[in-house]
Amino acid sequence: MSMPSESVSFSELLRQPSETADRLSRARAVRLRRRDAADLVLMSADRAAAEGEVVDLTTRLLASVARRDPTLVRESLPTVLPWVRFLPAKDLEQMAGEFVATAEAAAAIGNTAAISQLLTEWRHTAEIHADPDLHRILAEPSSDDFGPVACPSGE
């Protein structure tokens, strides 16, 4: 989803809620900028439902096509995600299969976060393959035991 063209600060929404809501009549969504937290996107419930419906339909359609012809997705990925060209053929095949399975499951529960996570992980894998020095370092076996790992802070 592309970012909304309209943008206001979160405090402006609190000070002028009706003016901010009026912006939705001119834009499909309004980005709410927050100083100390992640930005939010405000859109009408009808718009959110319509976009969700399109994502669901597209995902199910893709999964159906992929089941019929698995090579079609694998062959199309370099056009849609150019960074997959850095993946070895075996990894590209695995990524395509995981993508279709994850997209289908995500559509079934109405939450695309898993797809985004999968794409991030595979993009990082492609970045490693694209950098010969980094790939060599990470591919070398390590027999060292780096000792105990401290618990993350806050846990």
How many whole angstroms separate alpha carbon 30 and alpha carbon 40?
A: 8
Model confidence at 152: pLDDT above 90: no
Model confidence at 129: pLDDT above 90: yes
Mean pLDDT of the chain: 87
pLDDT of residue 85: 96
Amino acid letter, residue 24:
L
State the sign of the Cα–Cα–Cα–Cα dihedral 92, 87, 135, 127: negative
Q: What is the pLDDT of residues 17-74, one digit of tens each?
A: 888 888 888 888 889 899 888 999 888 899 889 988 888 888 888 878 877 887 888 8
pLDDT of residue 155: 56
123-145 mean pLDDT: 90
How many whole angstroms separate alpha carbon 83 and alpha carbon 68?
A: 25
pLDDT of residue 20: 84
pLDDT of residue 7: 85
Q: Which domains does the chain have, with CATH numbers?
A: 6-43 (3.40.1620), 46-138 (no CATH)
- Interacting residues of 83 by C-beta distance below 8 A, sequence separation 6+: 123, 126, 127, 130
